[in-house]
């Protein structure tokens, strides 16, 4: 039972917490910005799990499940808003759609420009060629999937004063756990990924902050 096993297993907490909340909690607890971010984040990690060595099918499966689970949470949130806030819900849904569309456009543009830019950097020589050759550099999924995880931490920071009754105990627990375990996992994969370590350090800290707020409010 190595970190290659426990790291991906901990990530199942993300999808399982969304499934748990969908079956036991009302839609008012859904953080639509975080769920939308997780859809993109998990989509990137599906690719990441396929590319790392050793290839990690557990990680692949849990992130595939999370895309579906968070998509369902977004559906529930949209239905709830349309029923309870019919006047403002269309604007909120449009704003979230623009955010998702913008992220998709950036990802698509990056994929299209990847090979030409990589070739240009290689031809420039020196430090540019070194960047192009880095196995965990900006031209590979090993860089982008972990660094997109910063978006989860940014969401946590933006929600620093979120009412505790609207915080999901299961989701904050899952994100704190996965951030902690993946700090270790970042040093046992090939290539070693320092950006993955730092992003998970911030994720575990920011999620742990909300987890502590929730526990304090509900149990003390």
What is the pLDDT, as a whole number, of residue 120? 84
Nearest by Cα to 173 from 201, 199, 210, 198: 210
**What is the per-residue pLDDT across 56-86, written as a single tens digit (0 to 9) for each?**
888 899 899 999 999 999 999 999 999 999 9
Taking only the tens place, the pLDDT of each residue in 16-54 is 999 999 999 999 999 999 999 999 889 888 888 888 777
| Pairwise CA distance, residues 103 & 186, whole Å | 25
The predicted structure's pLDDT at residue 76: 95
Rounded Cα–Cα distance for residues 30 and 35 (Å): 8
205, 176 Cβ separation under 8 angstroms: no
With the CA atoms of 92, 98, 104 and 110 taken in that order, what torsion angle do they form, in degrees rounded to the nearest 10? -140
Preceding omega of 20 cis (within 30 degrees of 0): no
Predicted confidence at residue 123, as pLDDT, reads 81
What does the pLDDT look like over 80-93, one tens digit per residue? 999 999 999 889 88
Kindly tell me the number of DSSP H helices and DSSP E strands found in the chain.
9, 0
pLDDT at 136: 67
pTM of the model: 0.81
Q: Residue 4: pLDDT above 70?
A: no
Mean pLDDT of 176-188: 87
């Amino acid at each position: 039972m190595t970190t290659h096993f426990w790291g991906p297993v901990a990530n199942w907490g993300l999808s399982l917490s969304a499934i748990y909340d969908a079956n036991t909690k009302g839609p008012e607890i859904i953080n639509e910005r975080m769920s939308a971010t997780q859809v993109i984040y998990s989509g990137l990690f599906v690719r990441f799990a396929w590319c790392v060595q050793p290839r990690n099918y557990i990680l692949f499966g849990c992130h595939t499940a999370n895309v579906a689970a968070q998509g369902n949470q977004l559906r529930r949130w949209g239905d709830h808003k349309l029923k309870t806030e019919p006047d403002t819900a269309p604007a909120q849904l449009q704003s979230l759609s623009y955010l998702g569309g913008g992220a998709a456009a950036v990802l698509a543009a990056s994929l299209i420009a990847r090979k030409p830019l990589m070739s240009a950097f290689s031809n420039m020589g020196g430090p540019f060629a070194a960047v192009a050759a880095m196995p965990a550099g900006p031209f590979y999924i090993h860089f982008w999937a972990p660094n997109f995880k910063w978006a989860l931490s940014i969401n946590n920071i933006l929600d620093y004063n979120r009412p505790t009754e609207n915080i999901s105990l299961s989701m904050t627990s899952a994100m704190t756990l996965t951030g902690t375990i993946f700090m270790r996992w970042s040093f046992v994969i090939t290539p070693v990924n320092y950006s993955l370590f730092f992003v998970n350090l911030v994720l575990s800290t920011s999620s742990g902050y909300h987890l502590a707020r929730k526990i304090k409010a509900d149990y003390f």
